[in-house]
Amino acid sequence: MKTQNNILRKQFLAHVGQTSPSPQLITVDRAEGVYFYTPEDKQYFDLISGVSVSNVGHGNSAVVDAVCRQAQDYMHIMVYGEMVERPQVEYATLISSLLPEGLDSVYFLNSGAEAVEGALKLAKRYTGRTEMVSMRRAYHGSTHGAMSMMGFPEGEEWKNAFRPLLPDCKAIEFNNFTDLEQISSRTACVLCEPVQGEAGVRPPVDGYLQALRRRCSEVGALLIFDEIQTGMGRTGEMFAMTKYGVTPDIVCLAKAFGGGMPLGAFVSSKEIMDCLQSNPVLGHITTFGGHPVCCAAGLAAARYLIDNSVVEEVESKGALYESLLEKHPQVVEIRRSGLLLAVELGSSEKLYKLMDIFIEKGILSDWFLYCDTAFRISPPLTITTEEVCQSAELISQALNCL
């Protein structure tokens, strides 16, 4: 077993393209609920959920059954949007019923970055404007367009090597009311995560998203919410936008939206969406977007969340983590929205050390792209209160080793 695993690791390093210079190199054999296991049967507590993907838990039988059934019925037939495929239609209809009024036309894609690309194009096409505004420390994906809207447009380590990026992009400070004045009648859209994820979990301050909504409406700019990480129950509501009572013109979904399969979407009103049908026709196209197996998985996962009232318990489980960890002497602060937590240690040296201790103790966590002083807790939403307590105990033991 050990030799086989070593061979696999060597082949991984030799043949699987990597952009991480120091991959974790844990071999995954199987996964169930909040755990995954190596071939040697070492158990890991999954505190990442594949970065907010596995909201219904690993190996969820409702999702697995839906995938198997759909794979048997049919997989890929024709490029997106030409055929009537039941999983797409049913999932689009369900999502439209869950989102606020006016968000009822769903364009399916393969990933979060693609959803962002599509949304930006839609906003430019609808408004006839070119300026696009984002929030500092935001992450929206790794393609050229999404990357143009991430982090710090004035220059930074993640982006500089890939310039030139999209023109006419600028960023404002999230939660800064004065910066909203920079959104003008030149602005096609403002792209914003309602709770900033990779900035290290930064929820909006009171009234900020409402003020942002007002400013966009005043100047005729479209408001795009990136709910790729916050959607499908992560923050304690099916979508974070309903938590704050603010409806965007377009919302981007991905990650948990596919129930563990690759699926993204941008959603708007039909009136806005339909402008991609003319000048030019086929304003956005994709071969695999909305793959029937992925839609079947996403649909089964969404129904699972609803039928089992999973989202209703997210807030109390998140609060339980907070109460169990906030008093630990190594913890400086906990920032949280539902079951998306950033546990702030105030030091990247401590954080890197802790990551190694976590691996020894069988915990998988990580830090944030724009915050390497805090670690992430975003387990499957199906985690039980007992499992919250067990994992918090493991985390405390790891923190004691610092």
In the numeric block, the tokens 């998985």 are attached to 297
Q: How many CA atoms lie within 13 A of 132 on its CB side?
A: 26
Residue from 134, 229, 235, 373 that binds ligand PLP (CB under 6 A)? 229
For residues 54 and 380, is the Cβ–Cβ distance under 8 A?
yes
Q: Which stretch binds ligand PLP (CB under 6 A): 93-101, 178-186, 225-233, 303-311?
A: 225-233
Q: Which is nearer to ligand PLP, 46 or 226 (CB)?
A: 226
Nearest partner of 301 among 106, 95, 96, judged by Cα: 95
Residue from 85, 226, 237, 249 that binds ligand PLP (CB under 6 A)? 226
Q: Which is nearer to ligand PLP, 268 or 378 (CB)?
A: 378
Is residue 193 part of the contact set for ligand PLP (CB under 6 A)? yes
Residue from 139, 304, 368, 375 that binds ligand PLP (CB under 6 A)? 139
Q: Which is nearer to ligand PLP, 51 or 394 (CB)?
A: 51
Is residue 237 part of the contact set for ligand PLP (CB under 6 A)? no
Is residue 140 part of the contact set for ligand PLP (CB under 6 A)? yes
Is residue 365 part of the contact set for ligand PLP (CB under 6 A)? no
Which residue type does 204 have?
A: P
Is residue 113 part of the contact set for ligand PLP (CB under 6 A)? yes
Largest CA distance in the chain: 64
Is residue 197 part of the contact set for ligand PLP (CB under 6 A)? yes
Nearest-angstrom CA–CA distance, 236 and 340: 9
Q: What is the CA radius of gyration of the chain?
A: 21
Report in angstroms how near the CB of residue 327 gets to ligand PLP at its nearest: 29
Q: Which is nearer to ligand PLP, 261 or 395 (CB)?
A: 261
Concatenate the DSSP letters of all residues of 217-261 into one string: HHHTPEEEEE-TTTTTTTTSSSSHHHHHT---SEEEE-GGGGBTB
Q: Which is nearer to ligand PLP, 60 or 230 (CB)?
A: 230
Q: Edge-to-edge strand order for the sheet containing 222-226?
A: 105-109, 264-268, 250-253, 222-226, 187-192, 131-135, 169-172
Is residue 199 part of the contact set for ligand PLP (CB under 6 A)? no
Nearest partner of 174 among 217, 218, 209, judged by Cα: 209
Binding site for ligand PLP (CB under 6 A): 51, 111-113, 116, 139-141, 193, 197-198, 226, 228-229, 254
